[in-house]
Amino acid sequence: MKLVNVYHVDAFTQDSFAGNPAGVVPDADTLTVQQMQQIANELNLPESAFLMASDHPEADFRIRYFTPTTEINFCGHATVGSTWLLATERGWLEKGRPIVFETNVGLIPVTLDVEDGQLKKVTMTQIAPSVREIELDQAEVARMVGIRPEDLDDRYPMKLASTGGLHLLVPVRTYEAIDRAVPLFPELEALNRKHQITTTHLFTWNGPQGYDVYTRDFAPAIGIPEDPVTGAANGALAGYFVLEGFLEKGSVHHLVVGQGHAIQRPGTLYVTVEMTGETPVIRVGGAAHVTIAGQLRLKAE
């Protein structure tokens, strides 16, 4: 019998049963790709992260991400969850330096924010953001995500954005309209597959009290009907804000983003957008909570 340590970490929250749950397998060197996919399917969480040794001279770990149905190139909340686990249960906090992950999209450094010896949040620097056009019938998109066409906010263009995964950004006038959304998942899945979109990300500047931006995220094409609190998509959204001119260049902007409230898994992301050079720097941070720790029992090969 082969025993594999596995954790369930709720990311972008300080509480169990909130935020976005991630599976974390910190000792995945001996696992095959098939086993990683099977474990992710068994855990049935939005994403699971598998950590292993890296050959990259600047990386501390190689990390791979799997949804229940497929491998993806980058996942923000599973990165936060992995970092929190390493810091609080694997002794990394005492090292006093960032953790650098080698991902399919490049190196992702994650800093540990500590106050009075206690870990308060972790913050990842995502790869440089990009934005591109997409020709879509906006009323059809509204119908697919389950809102009214008049709920769309025409002050902001509907575009694709990325900091590692491709996200369709859908501007909405109010957070109430976002919360009312009832997507047509088969049609949304077909649209996302056609354009190789990882998630469809609804956003508004008209959020609940305490938040600058409020979002909701659907990802049926990768086996996740709704992703509760999304680090990658909100990082891409922040890149879109600055690249499209909605945030002033030459400045540093701090945004508090809320997500997950509509499905009773509220989470908070702390996003920093820095555009003092040629390329925006996007940092996404938050807390986490290790909710379950256990072992998987695999048959010996």
Active site members: 47
Provide the 8-state DSSP code for 172. Answer: B
| DSSP character at residue 58 | T
Q: How many CA atoms lie within 13 A of 300 on its CB side?
A: 2
- Number of helices (H), then strands (E), belonging to the chain: the values are 6, 18
Helix ranges, the chain (H): 33-43, 76-89, 138-145, 175-180, 185-195, 231-243
Q: How far, in Å, are 8, 91, 207 from residue 16 at the CA level?
A: 10, 22, 24
Q: Are 285 and 126 in contact (CB under 8 A)?
A: no
Q: How far is CA 166 from its chain centroid?
A: 12
